[in-house]
Every structure is written in structure tokens, then in C-alpha cells.
Amino acid sequence: MLLELDGIGKTYPGVRALDDVSLTLHAGEVLGLIGENGAGKSTLMKVLGGVVPPSTGQIRLNGRSYDRLTVAEAQAEGIAFVHQELNLFDNIDVAGNILFGREPLRGGPLQLVDRKAAAEQVLPLLRRLGADFAPHTPVAELSIAQRQLVEIAKALVANARIIILDEPTSSLTLSETARLLTIVGELRASGTAIIYITHRLGEIIDCADRVVCLRDGKMAGALPHEEITHANMIRLMIGRELRALYTPPARPPGEGGLSVKGLVTSAFPHKQVDLRIRPGEIVGLAGLVGSGRTSLARALFGIDPPLGGEVLLDGQAVRISSPKDAVAAGIYLVPEDRKKDGLVLDMPIAENITLANLHHHARAGLVDRGAERRTAEAQGKALRIKAPGMEVAAGTLSGGNQQKVVLGKWLSMEPRVILFDEPTRGIDVGAKGEIYALMRALADRGVAILMISSDMEEVIGVSDRIVVMHEGRISGALQRDAFSEKAVLRLAIGQDGEAAES
Amino acid sequence: MSKKELGLGLLLIIIGGITAALNPLFLSGVNLLNMANLIGLFGVFSIGQGLIIITGGIDLSVGSMFALLGVIFIDLLVNYELAWPLALLVVLAMGLVLGLLHGLLVTRLKLQPFVVTLCGLLIYRGIARYYTNDATMGFGYATNLDTLTWLASGRSFGIPHPFIILLIVAVAMYVLLHRSVFGRYIYAVGRNEEAARHSGINTNAVIAGAYLIGGGLAGLSAVMLVFYTSSVSPSSFGNFYELYAIAAAVLGGCSLRGGEGSILGIVLGTILLQILQNLVNILGIPSSLNFAVMGSVILLGVIADQQLGKRKQARALSRSQGVAPAPAE
């Protein structure tokens, strides 16, 4: 046995990311690791890579036992990662990347890199992986699929016995994917163990010997080779109890609202999106990470202006080529990364709240500080922002209160459409409930709300209607009576057309 | 007045006091007025530099702009015999245009401010020298310049006009930066351009606006400097002045990362630099050490600021944790 994880747990303040996870891995075996967004897959792999220390449990590698691994120990034990975001230096050539930290040297004390020896060392590896590029090609000139081969070659040079592939095919074409799966097969045949993480269940069926599924940080179950089917995997991924979060709207949705026709985003230039959000309804936008949800929100808000299609607001066409246009039309975005995009952390709360609407708090171009303070205090009170005063820097607040400041910025204006991107990420449970209540109150005031969320409980618990995206297009929509984790998941992995036996 | 400005003011008084104790001539009327004149000359374009630095940019081209605008200004007055109000307007307009050009190159073509204005530094100096065949230009026998000479280098109530002009510019820029909507946007863009954009602010226009103002103030300074030296040698006029401006801004509390700084701080920074220059002269320190003294004081000032900033951050952190015990992410 190469690797054994025994009772691994990881607790962050207020969150249990992993709870009693155990698994084993043998040489020459491909283990498929599945689970929804946030199920704990990444945390588990970080524990294995030595990046995150586990709170409880044991890691046994090659007969040695560890309470926690350091990155150096993980590498010494032969664990290699091929990351979702590739970790290559694109200003250095292929050989330099593959041999990084173990360059063949010449020239004695001068420590020059022996480029010829490096190429000779790398060439057979590239041949073995079927690579069509030379050792001295700059990485910047390679495609994503080619870069992945470089990462795998890097792992092989380091004598990796366990290679972790994290969503390796998310940006590959079909033929590139097929080739990667062939390479996985060859590595297995040569005795390397592979942990294959993916949302694409078809690939698991093609290459995995065994499947392990995580759900909410716990082991949801395992499947031996002969039981690996779509239906069985989906059954493992879903099936937890959802708390009742839903508050029905005060009145049925109105007419008009936001309607999007044939919208083309820069992230998916060959796909079109049609979407309708009526005033007074909360539409949940579900989908896997990278399915185009955030791209859609950024296009609607003018950050990455749409390449085509039209956006109508109450039947009127609006042209959105910058956030300024969107704000003027009453379309606001509560961004996913509030520290980077939502707030100026060093500025006082009050100045953050009025930033988008400063002209209404000014006379003759000069800021009316009294009006600014009144607006900020009104929002602070309405949203119950916990802060010593509105003049303290927004960066000193907790996550939930920071999110309320972002909300306060938009609520002090006249919202018609609000796009929430992961509105409760990094926010504790109590503040989450407050944010949901605010969203419902806004909808009841006639605002059309789109809520992007990777949290299944949130999507099902808060939305009036769910729209699901898959690889840049809308793969389906669900009415409230059809809500289920399974239905959402099927649409999210692009399975709408296939047989729905369970 | 922020703590930073208070500290800088205190430093000014201490250094001034020590200098005065060592040589009472420091506080003589002649010396003070002479310093006020220089403070005025250097303060105006340092404020422009400060605005640009607060957006997260930099302007290395001002010294060369003085040479180019200076020779054009004298040429217009002496050889083209243009009426002085027109010549003044032309030079101010050229300053604005060059500033706008820098701003557009930075925002539209996404070039780095350092590179854009470094090229400006080389280009403007080169053109100025070519234009004059490297010869010094003076006013010679030009007439009808008495009014302008008086305006740019005379005195009212005994106070040198450059200092009065600096006061006017400083008040106007104080209102612009610390009270106006535009000023708020400058801080927001300098501190977090993405969040400003997400708030619907046209960040490109804000940044270009700062360069535009910086260019205009450089044009104004060029005119005053020409009357201070009353001639322009295109190869040396204004050399290193961009560095004086950057030094004054940094000393005054501007961070080269952007989003930080104040008009009062920049003015205090300018004053401190001039006192240091004056101190070298008046205390009989070899004038070759001039730059070394200036560099050392700036370095010490920045180190002190950094250490104080760290402590302040630590305090703010412990305070916020006291207020909000909820788990932050």
C-alpha cells in the first residue's frame, strides 16, 4: 500500500472542512475523487501536498506515519500535483521548468546551467508522453494541454509515485482529453498511482479503478470498478439534508425586469446565453466552477463587455460597455471577491458606501460630508453593520459586515437588478441568514435578483427559480417544485439529455 | 492635520531650530524670503507630482518639460515677439497637452507610467537642445515684459510671488483633492482601481485627469523658473527637478503604491527639502554633500514612517478583533 489516510479532519474557525476522511491508494491504481464544489476535495489534496496541516488523523506513506506533512516531505515521499491553475514559469523554457531546482550544472564554481545535458535528460520524457514540442521551447508558446504535459514530465522527473490531477481536462479539447487519458493509462501501467479529481464523470468511467466521493467534508462512499456508473456517482454526490431557508416572496413577480438575449461573453465566444429575471424574484444561478456564471455577471455589469446579443431592462434595450453604464441603468454587482473588487479596504465605511453615488452627495463638485454621513448612518442602521462608527476603515470589519458595506453602497441608490456573485462566501452562519433576509426584502421591493452560488444549500434554499449553466451555456432551468440537488447536479454536469434512471 | 503631517511639521521645527541655533542668519529676513521663493518654485510642481503619485503613477518628465517649455516660452517672447499673455497661455496649454498625452498613454495603451515619462524626460530634453542648438537662451533686449516679470518673480507686501502662487495653488488643490468628488476618486483609484471600476467610476478619466493637472502645474512652474534664472540653458535647466518633486511627495507622506498622501504633506515636504538645502549652505557644509544630506533625511523619514505604520496597523488589528469577535475568513 502506497498511501493511507486515516481519519483526517480539518477545522477552520466556524467551519469543518474535513471530517474523518479515510482512504487508501495502491501503486498502479487510478483513484477517482468526486464531490460537489466545496465538498472538501481541494482541502484534502492540500493536506496531502503539505500545504494545509490536518487537525486530526494520520497520513501513512510508504510505511512511514505522519501527523502532518510539510511540502518538502510530501515531495520527498513522491507526491506531485498537476494543478488546475498550472504552476509553470512561462518565461522559462520547457527543460528549465521540468528540471527546476535540479538543473544539471557545469563550469564548477560558476554553477552554469548545462543546457545540453538538460535537453538530453528531458527529451526521452517528452517522447514518452508523446509531446510534440522541443525541450527549448518557451512555455509561453505552449497550449494548455502541452503545458499539462510539462507538469506531468516535471512530476516524473521528481520520481513521483503519486500524481494528483486536479480538474486536468477543464480547458482541454476532446482529442486532448483523450490523449491525456491514454497517458494516465500508461502511467498506471508503469506503477504510478494517480488521484484523478474531476467533475466530468465520463472521464472517471473511462479511467478510474475506484471512486471515492466526498460530501460536506465527509466520506460519502466509495465505488469499486464494476459499479462505476453515472447514476451511482450522482447518488453519492447528493443526498444530504437541506435546512429550510426558503422565505416565499410577498407577491408574484412583476412584468419586465432584466432580459438577456443571445448574450456572448468573452470567456465563451461561441456560446449564447438567454436569461430572464423578473422584478421581485430571486433567480439562483448554479453550475460548476468555470461554467461561465461569473463571466455572465461580469458581462452584464460591463467589466468584460459582452461581445454580442442584447440586454433589455423593462423592455428597453440598454448598452453596457463599462460598469459606469451598468450602474447608470441600475444594474449592480456584488462581486465574488469583495476585498479586491467590492471595497477600498483602507477607506472609511462611509466613503465606501457613497463611492458609486458620490455625485448625489456633492454640491458643485465638492463632497457634502454631512449628506455622506447621513447616508452611511442610514445604511449602517438598516443593514445592522457592526462597527464602532462609519468613519473606520472598511478593512477592519469581519467578512459579513464587509459584505453589508458592499450592499449598502448599492442599496443607497436605486437598484433595479442586483447580481450577487457568491454572496455568502467566507461569511459565518448568522450573517448568512441576514444576507438572505436582505435579498428577499430587496426582491419584495421589486428588484430583480440573480444569485450565483456554488453552495447547493443556498441555491435550493433561497432561489425562487434555478437556472443552471454548463460550459458557457444555460443547460436548463428549474421551477421551485422541481428543485432537487440531483436535478441541479445533472444540469450542472451537462447531463440533461441522458436517461434519467436513478 | 494627520499624525504624519504633525510629525513632519515637528521635524521641520526641530531641524529649523537646530540650524538657527548654530547660525542665527538662518532666521534673517533675507534668508527666509529667499527660502520662501524657492519653496514656491518647487512646491507648485511637487503638488502636481503628488497628485500623480496618489493615483499610483509617477512623472519623471517634469525637469525636461521645464527645459522644453522654457526655451519655447523665451522664443515666443523674444523672437516671435508674441504678447506675453498669449505666450503664457501657449506654455500653460502645452503643459496641459503633454500631461494629457502621458495620461492617455498610461490609460489607453496601458503603458507603465515610469516608462512613458522616462521617454518624455529623454524626448523633451533632446528636442529642447536641438531647438536651440544647445545654446543658452535669454531675454536679451525684449521689452514689455515688466508686468510678467513682476508677476512671476516680484514681491507683494514683501512676499515673493512664487510663494503666493504656491499658496493659491495649494488651497485650490487642497479643495480639489480633499473636498471634491474628483479628489475622492483619485484616492479610490490609487488604492484599489478594481473596486473603483466596480463602483461605476471611469477610472481612466480620473488617472488621465491627474496627469493633465500635473502637466498644467508643470507649465506654470516652467514660467516661474524661467524668470527665476532669467535664462534657459537647455542641457541643464530643470535637471533632477522631477526627483526633487518625487522626494517632496514621498517625504510628505505619498506612497508610491498610490492612494496615500495629502497636499499639506507635500507642501511640508517641499519646505523640509528647501530647509535642508539651505542648511547645507548656511552651516558651511561642503555643498557637494547637498544630495547626500537630502537622501539621508528622506531615507530616515521613510524608515520612521514605515515603523510607525506597522505599529498603527497592529493596534488597528487588535482593536477590530475586540469589536468583532465573529470569525473572519
DSSP states of A279-292 as a string? TT-EEEEEE-TTSS
Nearest residue to A397 (alpha-carbon basis) of B173, B328, B204: B328
Measured CA to CA in angstroms, residue B274 lies from A204, A205, B15, B30, B42 at distances of: 72, 76, 12, 15, 9
First to last CA, chain A: 34
Shortest CB distance from B200 goes to which of A327, A362, A388?
A327
Shortest CB distance from A428 goes to which of B184, B202, B327?
B327
A329 chain-B contacts, CB cut-off 8 A: none
Q: Is A363 on the interface with B (CB under 8 A)?
A: no
Number of domains comprising chain A: 3
Chain B residue with minimal CA distance to A322? B200
Do residues A386 and A271 share a domain? Answer: no
State the CATH number of the domain containing residue A39: 3.40.50.300
CB pair distance less than 8 Å for B319 and A430: no
The verdict on residue A247 lying in a domain is no
A323-332, A383-392, B185-194, B200-209: the lowest-pLDDT one: A383-392
Do residues A348 and A403 share a domain? Answer: yes
Shortest CB distance from B200 goes to which of A341, A356, A428?
A356
The verdict on residue A53 lying in a domain is yes
Do residues A409 and A422 share a domain? Answer: no
CB pair distance less than 8 Å for B179 and A367: yes
Q: How far apart (Å, rounded) are the C-alpha atoms in residues A489 and A199? A: 10
The verdict on residue A246 lying in a domain is no
Domain containing A138 equals: 3-238
The verdict on residue A244 lying in a domain is no
Nearest residue to A404 (alpha-carbon basis) of A389, A426, A382, A373: A382
Do residues A92 and A113 share a domain? Answer: yes
CB pair distance less than 8 Å for B316 and A398: no
* Per-residue pLDDT, A239: 63
Q: Is B188 on the interface with A (CB under 8 A)?
A: yes
The answer to whether the Cα torsion of A17, A23, A27, A33 is positive or negative is negative
The grid cell for B91 is: 506654455
The grid cell for A209 is: 479503478
Q: What is the DSSP string of B101-155?
A: HHHHHHHTS---HHHHHHHHHHHHHHHHHHHTTT--EE-TT--S-HHHHHHHH-E
Q: How far apart (Å, rounded) are the C-alpha atoms in residues A208 and A184? A: 10
Among residues 371-400 of chain A, which lie with CB inside 8 Å of chain B?
A: 386-388, 392-393, 396-400
Do residues A140 and A285 share a domain? Answer: no
Q: Is B175 on the interface with A (CB under 8 A)?
A: yes
Do residues A162 and A201 share a domain? Answer: yes
> A489 pLDDT exceeds 90?
no
Q: Is A434 on the interface with B (CB under 8 A)?
A: no
* Per-residue pLDDT, A289: 77
Can you tell me the mean pLDDT for A186-199? 90
Do residues A490 and A351 share a domain? Answer: no
Q: Is B197 on the interface with A (CB under 8 A)?
A: yes
CB pair distance less than 8 Å for A324 and B201: yes
The verdict on residue A75 lying in a domain is yes
Shortest CB distance from B182 goes to which of A345, A356, A365?
A365
> B321 pLDDT exceeds 60?
no
pLDDT 10s digits, A136-178 = 999 888 888 888 889 888 888 888 899 999 888 877 777 788 8
CB pair distance less than 8 Å for B324 and A401: yes
Determine the residue among A363, A366, A413 to mutate to test chain B binding: the one whose Cβ has the most chain B Cβ atoms within 10 Å.
A366
A355 chain-B contacts, CB cut-off 8 A: 184, 188, 195-196, 199, 201
> A368 pLDDT exceeds 90?
yes
- Classify B177 as helix, strand or coil: helix
B259 chain-A contacts, CB cut-off 8 A: 344, 346
Confidence of residue A501 (pLDDT cuts 50, 70, 90): very low
Shortest CB distance from A367 goes to which of B180, B194, B259?
B180
Q: Of A238, A273, A288, which marks where a domain is finished? A: A238
Q: How many C-beta atoms surround the C-beta of residue B102 within 10 A?
A: 29
The grid cell for B309 is: 505604520
CB pair distance less than 8 Å for A398 and B202: no
A61-75, A251-265, B139-153: the lowest-pLDDT one: B139-153
pLDDT 10s digits, A13-46 = 767 889 999 999 999 999 999 987 778 888 898 8
Shortest CB distance from A366 goes to which of B179, B200, B202?
B179
The verdict on residue A336 lying in a domain is no
Say which residues have a Cβ less than 8 Å from residue A318's Cβ, sequence separation at least 6.
Answer: A311, A312, A325, A329, A331
Q: Is B184 on the interface with A (CB under 8 A)?
A: yes
The verdict on residue A464 lying in a domain is yes
Query: pTM of the entire structure?
Result: 0.81
Chain B residue with minimal CA distance to A386? B324
B36 Cα to chain A: minimum distance (Å): 30
Q: Of A238, A263, A295, which marks where a domain is finished? A: A238
Do residues A59 and A196 share a domain? Answer: yes
The verdict on residue A215 lying in a domain is yes
Q: Of A214, A238, A262, which marks where a domain is finished? A: A238
The grid cell for A178 is: 483523450
Q: Is A289 on the interface with B (CB under 8 A)?
A: no
Do residues A408 and A426 share a domain? Answer: no
> B142 pLDDT exceeds 50?
yes
Nearest residue to B243 (alpha-carbon basis) of B116, B109, B60, B76: B60
Chain A residue with minimal CA distance to B200? A324
CB pair distance less than 8 Å for B329 and A426: yes
Percent of all residues in chain A with a pLDDT value above 70, rounded to a whole number: 96
The grid cell for A201 is: 464523470
* Per-residue pLDDT, B311: 76
Q: How many C-beta atoms surround the C-beta of residue A214 within 10 A?
A: 26
Can you tell me the mean pLDDT for B142-152? 80
Chain A residue with minimal CA distance to B329? A426
Can you tell me the mean pLDDT for B279-290? 86
Do residues A424 and A375 share a domain? Answer: no
A64, HSE (Cβ side, Cα atoms, 13 Å):
8
Do residues A110 and A124 share a domain? Answer: yes
Chain A residue with minimal CA distance to B199? A356
Nearest residue to B219 (alpha-carbon basis) of B99, B42, B112: B99
Do residues A233 and A257 share a domain? Answer: no
* Per-residue pLDDT, A144: 80
* Per-residue pLDDT, A242: 56
Asked if residue A104 lies in contact with residue A110, where contact means CB atoms within 8 angstroms, the answer is no
DSSP 8-state symbol, A482: G
* Per-residue pLDDT, B324: 41
